[in-house]
Amino acid sequence: MANSKETGRCIFCGGNGLTKEHIWPDWLAAYAPKIGDSSKHTANFMKFDQEGPPQEVDRRVNVKQGDPRSKKLRCVCRNCNGGWMSRLQSLVKPVLLDLVLGNSLGESAAGVRRVLTPEEQHLLSKWAVMFTMVAEHLDYKTIAVPTEQRRAFAETQCIPENWRVWIGRYQGWRWHGNLIHRAAAVTQPGDAAARMNLQTSAFAVGKLFLLTWNTTVSGLDLIDFIPPRKAALEAIWPSGGAPCSQPTRIIFDFRFERNASLFFEYLGLDVPLATQLPHQQFASSAVVRPRD
């Protein structure tokens, strides 16, 4: 399936007039401390098979100079960026800032623990989905969200089917303003190589940790997954219809990397942890064959 790099069209509406925009909006990047003068994007491609251990079939490293927080992508048009995306950013900004700036007890400036209403959970989840759809274009070979989902989301701002979003409380230094994006192609034995059809993205800014999962694999229902207590995650999508709050348990750098692998562990796969330096971007993809 064609992507915006091949067509020169917007990943959301298919229109022309792409603009080069920051992955992190300027107002949010200010809360991610500067952690380097260069960025290193690593993509490693693994093949999983029932017949033996995982095999790395390719690895690519791309080093770019400049503050990683200022990284830009050219995949969204001016109309989308200045229209529905801008409106969503404005609506979610107060909620995001409360969580980004929250202290270790999860309290707001007024001294009352910040509680997310179901409506705020939905709003924050929509922003996380939008961020994921854009950020996975850091590496075109690991794009897992299909074009039709992005188009529908742009038109309705309704979160597509089989997405899950969690929040956590981050306290580390390696992953501020960075992300781990893992994607995979789930195929049946004998199938030809397929496009990526599941992804997980973990990212953090300030004290906020976000984790998104989604898949278009038939029969793989993500609603059945309950993260372990040590993951320190609170589900905000699908919402249970009740208020919730950011967990008080802290996600440190090691747990950040473990949480980024939860999806693959859920599938029964042994995925190596990321070993990046603080300023690195990370993406990985895999060809996955279901286990009996």
Positive or negative torsion for Cα 32, 35, 40, 42: negative
| Whether the Cβ atoms of residue 286 and residue 48 lie closer than 8 Å to each other | yes
pLDDT at position 29: 78
Average pLDDT value for residue range 165-169: 96
**Mean pLDDT value across the chain:** 80
The pTM score is 0.85
Provide CB contacts within 8 A for 119, sequence distance 6+. Answer: none
- Give the count of domains, the chain: 1
Tokens of 30: 């200010």
> Which band of pLDDT confidence, cut at 50, 70 and 90, is reported for residue 141?
confident
Give the model confidence (pLDDT) of 47-78 as tens digits. Answer: 666 565 666 666 666 666 666 666 789 999 99
Give CA–CA dist 226/240, Å, rounded: 13
Of 146, 286, 178, 263, which Cα lies nearest the Cα of 212? 263
Polymer length in residues for the chain: 292
Of 188, 200, 208, 194, which Cα lies nearest the Cα of 257? 200
Q: Is the pLDDT of residue 227 over 60?
A: yes
Domain around 102: 4-288
Give CA–CA dist 162/238, Å, rounded: 9
Alpha helices in the chain (DSSP H): 4-7, 26-29, 78-82, 84-101, 118-135, 147-156, 253-260, 262-266
Q: Is the pLDDT of residue 38 over 90?
A: no
Q: Is the pLDDT of residue 107 over 90?
A: no
